[in-house]
A and B are shown apart, each in its own frame.
Chain A
Amino acid sequence: MKKYLFKISALFLGLTLVTCSEDYLDIPQKSVLSSDVYYETAGPDEAEALISSIYNQYYSQIEGVACKIFLNCLSDDHYAGGNSFADAANQFQEADNLIINSTQGNLNTMYVNSYKLIYWANSIIEKIPESSDARIVRVKAEAQFFRALMMFENVRWWGTPPFVDHVPTTEEYYPANGNAAEIIAWCLTQMQEAADALPALSGIGQQEAYGARVSKHTALAYKGKIALWYGTKYNDAAILAQAVQPLNTVISSNLYGLVDDMFILDRPAADFCKEYVWEHNSADANGYSSYQAGIDQIWTNWRPENMTLPDDLYNIGWGWCPPTGMFGDFLRDHEGGIDMPRFKSTLRTYDQAFELEYNNASGPPGTVAPISANQGYFRWRGLLFAADIYTDIGGFFRRSMANTQFMRYAEVLLLYAEAKFLVDGDADGTGLAALNLVRTRAQLTPLGSMTYQDIKDERRAELWQEGERYFDIVRWGDAATLQKDKGKTWYTLYGYIEGTTDWDIRTREGSGNGWDPKYNFLPFPYSQLSANTNLVQNDGW
C-alpha cells in the first residue's frame, strides 16, 4: 500500500511541477498602442491624432501660464505680484527679484516639455512613412515647425541646449551642449521647409475655416522672428538679413491685418480674428472645454482679497504679474495719456478703477487690503471677464472661452520694422510703414522717420505681458541699464492717502540685487545637469 501511495504521490508531484506554462506570464499592456505598428501604419487620422497632442501640450506646457508669468517676471515691465511678497508659488518672486537658481521649476518645465515635443515631432517625421496624402504632408510639416520652434526657444532660454534633430539612439542619450549658430541655422531651414509644405489661409479673416493651427505664414513669421532674435543677440548680420524676406512675405500676402478695437484682444471676440497669425482654440462646443482652456486668467485676475473687483470681472483672481510703475509711467507717456485706447486696453490706474461699475455686494471700489507689488497701475489685459467664462465648467477657478494667441500680426509688423531698420536702414520705408500701422491702430500719430528706440518702445507698448520683453532687453543689451535696480525696492499700494486722491504707496527694501550679467541666459535646470552630466551649466549659474 505504502509503495503504491508513494508512486501516486511522486507522479502527482512530477505533474504539478511542470503544469505551469510560461505562457501565463505573457500579459499585454492595457490601454496602450504599439509604437511601431501605429506609426508605420498611420493614416491621416492617426497623423492628426499625433499632431493634436503636440498642439495640446504646446498650449498647456510651453505656452502655459506658468512659463509665461515666469518670463514676464524676469522683465522690467512686470512684478511677480500674487498675494504678497511672500507668495512663493512657482518661485515667481525670485524671478521678479532676479534671484532664481537652477532649481526654479519653470526651467525644468520648459526644458522637459520642449524636448518632449521635439521627440514627438521627430517621431512623426521619421516614423510615419512618406505619403502624398495632403493631410499627412501637412502634419509632417507642422511637426517640422514645432521642432524648429522648440529648438529656437531652447536657444533663447539657454544659448547652448543639446541639439536634437532626430529620434536619439541609445548612444545619443547624453549629449553635450549644442552650438547656437548651428541650431539656429537648422531652425531657419526647418521653418522654411515647413512653410513650403504648409497651406496658406484661403483669404484674409479665413483663419477659422483654416483651423487653429500653424500655416505657411505662421512658419514664415517665426522664421523671421528667429533670424531677428539671433541676428541681434549674436550680432550676426548674415542671419539677421534672413529675417526680412519671410516677414515681408507674410505682410505682402495680405492675409492678415490689425483689428480696430484693441479691447477685444485676448477676449473671445478676437477668436480667429485677422490679427492672429497663430492661436490656440479654446473649444467651447463639445463638452471638452476643460481640456482646451486653462485658468490662465485666474492667475492674473485682480485679487479680491486686495481689491474690490468691478462687476465686469469674475470675482476670483490671484493677482500675478501686475505692471511695474516704470511700465505704467512709460505707457502713459508713450501713448500720450491714460485715456488712450492702448493704455486703457492694457492697464488701468487706481483712479480709473473707481470709474468701473460695482454692485453693492462687492463693496465700495478700492483696496480691501494693502496691495503688494503695486504702484497704482493695474492690468487690464489678461483678466477674467465674467462674460467670457464657460458656464458649463464648475468650481471656483473658471476658464475663459477666449482663444490664446501665440503670434499677432502686430508683432510681425514690428519684427519687420526692426529687421528692415537693422539690415538696410529701412531703405524702402516699408519698415516704417509697418511700424506706423501699429501706431495708427493705437491712435498715435504716424512717425515720419524712426529710431531704434522708437521700434523698441513700440514693441514694449504693444507686446506687454506677451513674454517677449525679457528676451528683447537682453538681446538689445539694454537689460543691464533697465534692470539695474530690479527687486531692490518693493512697493505697496495702501489706496489713497486719507482725505486725498494721492496714491499711498509705501516702499521697503526688496530682496533683489538688480541685474546680474548671468541672466544673459537662463540656467539649465538642476535636475537635468544631474540626469545628463555632459551638459555644462551656463556661466555664472
Chain B
Amino acid sequence: MKKHYDLWVFEHPTLKKLIMELKIAILITIATVSNVFSTPSYSQVARVSLEIKNGNLEQVMDEIEKQSEFYFIFNQKQIDVTREVDIKVANKLITDVLPELFSGTNVRYAVFDRKILLTNDQKEITLPGNLSDVVQQQHVTGTILDENGKPIPGVNIAVEGTTIGSISDINGIYSINISSQDAVLIFSFIGYNQKRVPVAGKTVINVSMEPSVSSLDEVIVIGYGVTKKRDITGSIASVKSDALQNLTMTDAAHALQGKAAGVQVVNSSGAPGKGASIQIRGYSSNSRTEPLIIVDGLKVTSMDYLDPENIESIEILKDAASAAIYGIEAGNGVILVSTKSGSSVTGQGRFFYNYQLTSQKIDNLPQVMNAAQYMEYVVESGAVGIEDFEYDGVTDTHWGDYMFETGYIKRHTLGFEGGNDRGNLFISLNYLDNNGIITGDKDIYKRLTGQINADYKIKDWMTIGVTTSIENAKTNTVSEGSVPNISVLGSIMVYDPITPWTYIPGQEPSRIKTWEAQGHLLPRDENGNIYGESIFSGNTLIWHPAIMRDRTDTDNKNFNLRGTGYINFTPIGGLTFTSRLGYRAGYSQISNYNYDLYINSTANQAMSINGRASNSLYYQWENFANYMINIHEHNITAMAGMSFQHSESEFVYGSANTLSNPAVNFRYLSNAVNSTQMSISGQPDLSTNMSYYGRLGWSYMNKYNLQVSFRADAYDTSKLDKSHRWGYFPSISGGWTISNESFMDNINAALGMSSLKLRASYGVNGNVNALSNYQYNTTLSTGINYGYDFGSGSGQITGTYPSSRLPNPDIVWETTHMVDIGADARFFRDRLTVGVDWYNKNTHDLLTSTAAPANTGASTVFVNAGKVNNKGLELELGWKDKIGDFNYSISGNIATLKNLVTEGTSKDRVPGAAVHTSGTVTYFEEGYPLWYLRTYVIESINPETGAAVYKDFDDNGIINTDDREMTGSVIPDYTYSLTVNLAYKNFDLTVFGTGVQGAEKLFALNRGDYPQANTLLEFYENRWTPTNKNSKYPKPNYFDQNYKVSDAMVFDASFFKIKQIQLGYNIPKSIINKAKIAGLRAYVSLDDWFTFTKYPGLDPETNGLDRDVNSLGIDSGNYPISKKLVFGLNVSF
C-alpha cells in the first residue's frame, strides 16, 4: 500500500527558501496542462476505473494509487481530503480523471511522471525535485527557444536516469536541481525533437528546440521553399530518412519502391549498377516519362548516384499543381530529394559506421526444355529432321547452371554529423562493391560516394551552406534485353541443350575441326577447350552464353561532382532571399576491347578497340525570395524567383581495328595502326534555358488554404522555334481542414479524429523529354560517308544532303493538365492515418516523332499530336500503435491506374517495338493504353492437325496484319505495397512487399529466324500432340510466323514480391555504453526472396524500358533481380 506524501516540505523553512530560490515554477493553465500531459509518459498510458458513490476524496486517491503507480503529493492544510465525491469513470487516463475529480473546486493539480501534485495555490505549482534527496541540490537554469527564437513554455526537463524533473515557464525559462556534475538534461516537448544536453559543469544551459517530424507540423519541401504538412493543398508524398534506413537497395530510386501510392518504380534490369525508372501516375507521353529530379535544389538526370543512407527526405510532387512550380519539366511529376544536413541532439557530434554484406543468387531460373524434350519439340515443329541434330546421345546442357553464381555486395558507410544552433555538418563516405550473379567478373558495379553538407549562420540575417556529392563509379555490364535476343541473358534461355559447354579436346565435331584448320580463332574457355557451338548457330547471331559474356571487355568509369552553394538573407522577419548556384561536373570514360573470334560466317567478330571520353558541365543559378506574414488569423506566403540553366558537354571518340602489337598491354588507342576503319568523332554541345516563377499562398485559421503558382519557361533555340519557345504553366490548389471547424468538434470526438482535410488542385505542366534538338527547321549536313568519287580523278567529294526530318516550325510544348482531389485524415489519436487521392491527368499536344509521309523526302517529323489520359485512385493507410514494449505499425498503399490514348498521333495506329524478325507488337493508338500489345489471337486449335486457328477479325478469309487485337498492356491496373514494422524491446522486424496487378508482357525470346532455339518448358508441356488434342498451345510449327507474335506469347506479368524481411537487434545500451558506443544494431534481411507470379520468364518485374518506352512490355531477356541474403551492422559513437 502506497502512502500519500504530505507535502511537508512547504512548511520547512529552509527548504521553502531553497525552493523560492530555485524558481522552479510554472504557470499551469488549462491549456498548457494538455501539452504537458501529452508528452509520452506514464500518465499517457496508465488508465484507471473508478466507481465511488458518496465517498470522499481520500478514498478516491487511495483507489487511484491502488490501481496505478500514481501517488499524490499535497499539503493537507490546502487540500480537503474529506470532501464528498461521486465519480464513475471506466478505463480512463489520469488526465481525464483529474479534471472531473476537481471540477468546481479551487484545487489545482499537476502530474509529474507518477507524482500528482495538488495545491490550492492559484499561481504556482512547484516541484521539489527528487523527494528522497532534496537537500543537496545544485541548480541549472536556462531559456528554451523554438525554431523561430521564441520561448517555449511547458517544456519538460528531466535529469537522465533520475526522476528529477521540471517545466519551463511562460518565458521559456526553466530551472532544475541536479545531483551530479555528470548529469544529462533531457528536454522534451510535443512536436519537437527531444534534446539531450550534458551539464558538464555549466550552470546556464540555453536550448533551442527543433520541431519534430512526426506531426502535422512536419516540414515538407515543395520546391523553392518549404511548407508544413498541414498546409499542403496538393498531392505530395513524403518519404523520410527512417524509411530509407537499412535498405539493401544501393541507389535512391530503388529505395522509393512501394513507398508511395501512384509512384511506380520500374526496374528494367537487375544488373549491378542499373538504375530504376520512376513513373509517377502512369505514362503520360509516348516519349520517356521519367520525373524531374531535384536534389537539394539541383536538377539531376538520375538519382542513382545517391546512397539512400545520405538522404534526409524525398518528396514526390504527384499532382500538377504541386509540380507546376517546375513548369516545363514537371509533366511527369517531380521528385525532390534532400540530403542530410547533420544535426545533433546532444550538441555533440556523432560518428557512424554501417556495414552490409549481401550474397545474391538468381531467384527464378525459368524452366526450359531438356535435350530430349527439345529435340522432340523442334522435330515436331518441322524445323529440322532428327538426323540434323548430330546428337551425341549424352549432352544435356543446362546453361543456367554454368552461367549463374552467387554474387556478393559489400557496402561500407562511414560518416560524421554534428551541429549546433549556428551550423551543421554532415560528412559521409560510402563504398559499394557489387558483383552480380553472372559467373565471372563481367557484371560489376563499384562506387565510391562522398557527401559533404554544411551550413552556417554567419550573421543572424545570413546563412550560407553547401551540399556536395562526389561519385566515382566503375561499371561492367553483360548484354541483356537491350539488344533484342542477342544477349548473354537471352542466350542462356534459348541456346540449345544438345550443345556441350565445351568440347573434349580432340573430340570436336568435324565442322569445328575444319574451321580451326582454316585458321579461324574459335573461342575457348580458360582451360583452352573450345566452347560448344550449336549445330544450328549458322542461323542466328545468338552465341554461346560464355562467348556472349566474354567477347568484349568493357570498362565504364564515371566521376561526378554535384553540389550546390547557397546564401540566405533574412533582412526582415519573414523575408528570406536565397541565391543558389547548383552545379554538376563530370567525366566518363568507356573503353571497349572486342576480341577476334569466329563462330561462323555471320557470327564473328574482328578485333577492334574503341574508347569514348566525355565530360560535361552543368550549372544553374537561381534567385528567389520567400516572404511570410501573419495578419491576424491570415497567414500569407509569397515566393518569386528566376532560374537560369546552362548545360555543356563534349566528347571524343576513337576506334581502331589494328594495333601495333597484340599484347594485352597494347590495348589502347595510342597503339592504333592507321587503317581505313579508324574513326574519330567529337563535338561540343550546349543548351540553356531560363525561367521565372512565383507562388502565393494564403491560409486562414488553419482551416482554409489556397495556393496559386505560375512559371514561365523558355529553352534555347535547339528545342523550339524562337516564336514558340516560352511555355506558361499555372496552377491553383485549395484545402479545407474541416476538422478545425467548430461544428466538427463532436464528430472529431466521436471518431477520435484529429485531422480531416479536403484538397483539390489543378495545374499545367510541360515535358521536354520528347523533343530532339532542332526539329523545327531543316538544314544540310555534310559527310564523307555521303560522298562519292566519280572516278574521273575528282577524288572523294564530300557529300552534302538535307536532313531527314520534315521541318515543323509550328510545334509547341507538350502540356499535361491534371486535376487532383484528395483528403487526408487522422483517427484514434493519430494512430490511423488515411490519405486518398483521385486524379485525372490529360497530356495534350504530344510531341511525337512520327514517320513523315516519305513522299515528302523526309523520314521523320515532329508534330503536336495525340492526347493521353491517365486517371487513378490512390489510397494510403497507416496504423501505428504500441502495446507496452511492443511497437508496431502497418502501412499500405494501393493505386489504380487507367491509361488511355484519347487521341492518336496519326490517323492510323503508330507502330512501336517489334519482335525481331516477327513484326511489330506494340502500338500507339487512340482508344488503347499507351504502347499496348497487339498480336494475333489464337481462336482455337484444330484438334486433328494441332494447327493454330487465328481469329480473322475482318472475316476476309486471310490472316494478315489486320487480324490482330489488343492482347495486353504492361501498364498495370493497380500497384500496391504493404509494410509491417514490429519492434519489441531491442528487436525490430520489417516486412515489406510490393506488387503490380493486371500487367501483361510478351515473351519475345522466340525469334522467328531461330526455330531451333530452346524455349520455355511451358510450350512443350502444353503443346498439341496426337494424344493431347485439347491442348493449351498448338502443335509446334515453325512455318507459323504468326505464332511468335500471338497471344500465346502474352503472359500475365502481375506479381507480388516480398522485397524485404528484415530482423534487427539493438544491442542493449547497458552493454555497449561501456565501450563508449552510442548505438549498435545488427540485422539480417531476406531481400527479393519471395515472388508470387504466374509469369514463366526470367523476372516479371524487369522489362524493355531501357530500350524505349514502346518496348516496355516486351521481354527480350533482361537481367533478373537477384534474391539476396543481407547481413548488416550499424554502429554509432
Contact = CB atoms under 8 A, between A and B. Distances in A.
Interface of A: 2, 5-6, 8-9, 12-13, 16-17, 20, 22, 24-35, 38, 46, 48-50, 52-53, 55-57, 83-84, 86-89, 91, 94, 101-103, 111-112, 115-116, 118-120, 122-123, 161-162, 164, 167-168, 173-175, 208-213, 271-272, 281, 283, 286-292, 303-306, 315-318, 360-363, 368-370, 390, 392-396, 403, 511, 526-533, 535
A13 B773 CA distance: 33
Interface in B830-860: 850-859
Given A17-B623, A211-B790, A361 B717 contact: no
Contacts of B907: 530, 533
A289 B569 contact: no
B642 A56 contact: no
B326 interface: no
B684 A30 contact: yes
Nearest to A303: B601
B606 interface: yes
Given A27-B686, A27-B718, A56 B786 contact: yes
A173 to B, nearest CB: 5
B910 interface: yes
B859 A116 contact: yes
A35 B571 CA distance: 55
A119 B569 contact: no
A1 to B, nearest CB: 9
A119 to B, nearest CB: 2
The list of the 6 closest CB pairs from A to B, nearest first, reads A119-B857, A88-B1009, A211-B792, A211-B790, A53-B799, A283-B789
B366 interface: no
A467 to B, nearest CB: 21
Contacts of B857: 115-116, 118-120, 122, 164, 167-168
Contacts of A527: 851, 911
B214 interface: no
Contacts of A174: 853
Contacts of B519: 361
Interface of B: 383, 388, 461, 511, 514-515, 517-519, 538-539, 569, 571-572, 575, 577, 579, 598, 600-602, 604-606, 623, 625, 640-642, 644, 646, 657-658, 675-677, 683-690, 692, 714-718, 722, 725, 773-774, 777-782, 784-792, 794-804, 806, 850-859, 906-911, 917, 919-920, 960-961, 1007-1012, 1038-1039, 1041
A318 B854 CA distance: 31
Most buried by A among B461, B598, B689: B461
Contacts of B642: 16-17, 20
22 contacts: A2-B571, A5-B569, A24-B690, A25-B717, A48-B797, A49-B798, A53-B786, A53-B800, A86-B383, A86-B1012, A89-B1009, A91-B917, A116-B859, A122-B857, A164-B857, A168-B855, A212-B791, A272-B791, A395-B606, A526-B911, A528-B853, A531-B853
Contact of A29 (B779, B786, B850): B779
Nearest to A370: B388
B718 A392 contact: no
Contacts of A208: 791-792
A53 B790 CA distance: 12
Given A102-B961, A290-B676, A361-B519, A52 B539 contact: no
Contacts of B780: 32-35, 38
B800 A49 contact: yes
A16 B579 contact: yes
Contacts of A91: 917
A157 to B, nearest CB: 13
Contacts of B791: 208, 211-212, 271-272, 281, 283, 403
B675 A288 contact: no
A33 B779 contact: yes
Contacts of B461: 5
B670 to A, nearest CB: 19
A511 B1039 contact: yes
B717 A26 contact: yes
Contacts of A25: 688-690, 714-717, 725
B961 A103 contact: yes
A369 to B, nearest CB: 7
A35 B779 contact: yes
B774 to A, nearest CB: 5
A120 B801 contact: yes
A6 B690 contact: no
Which of B511, B718, B781, B854 has most A Cβ within 10 Å? B854
Contacts of B517: 360-363
A48 B688 CA distance: 37
Given A49-B798, A168-B855, A208-B791, A35 B514 contact: no
B539 A24 contact: no
A212 B850 CA distance: 36
Contacts of A2: 571-572
Contacts of A363: 514, 517
A316 B601 contact: yes
B786 A57 contact: yes
Contact of A175 (B715, B803, B855): B855
Contact of A394 (B657, B782, B908): B657
A369 B512 CA distance: 12
A32 B779 contact: yes
Given A49-B798, A53-B801, A83-B539, A27 B687 contact: yes
Nearest to A301: B601
A361 B718 contact: no
A530 B789 contact: no
B1010 A86 contact: yes
Given A26-B716, A210-B792, A396-B598, A12 B800 contact: no
B688 A24 contact: yes
A210 B1041 CA distance: 50
B779 A34 contact: yes
A50 B801 contact: yes
B908 to A, nearest CB: 4
A271 B274 CA distance: 53
B716 A29 contact: no
Nearest to B1039: A511
Given A27-B687, A211-B792, A101 B787 contact: no
A174 B675 CA distance: 46
A29 B802 contact: no
Contacts of A84: 538-539
A239 to B, nearest CB: 24
Contacts of B646: 24
B571 A394 contact: no
Given A35-B778, A57-B801, A119-B856, 20 more contacts: A2-B571, A5-B461, A9-B575, A12-B577, A13-B625, A32-B779, A35-B777, A53-B786, A56-B786, A122-B857, A168-B855, A173-B856, A291-B784, A317-B601, A362-B517, A394-B606, A396-B601, A403-B791, A529-B908, A531-B850
A435 to B, nearest CB: 31
Contacts of B802: 35, 119-120, 123
Nearest to A31: B683
A83 to B, nearest CB: 4
Nearest to B600: A305
A213 B789 CA distance: 10
B459 to A, nearest CB: 10
A212 B784 CA distance: 17
B677 A290 contact: yes
A370 B692 CA distance: 72
A359 to B, nearest CB: 10
A88 B917 contact: yes
Given A30-B683, A53-B800, A531 B1009 contact: no
A360 to B, nearest CB: 8
A86 B1011 contact: yes
B257 to A, nearest CB: 37
Given A50-B801, A52-B799, A116-B857, A393 B677 contact: yes
Nearest to B917: A88
B803 A87 contact: no
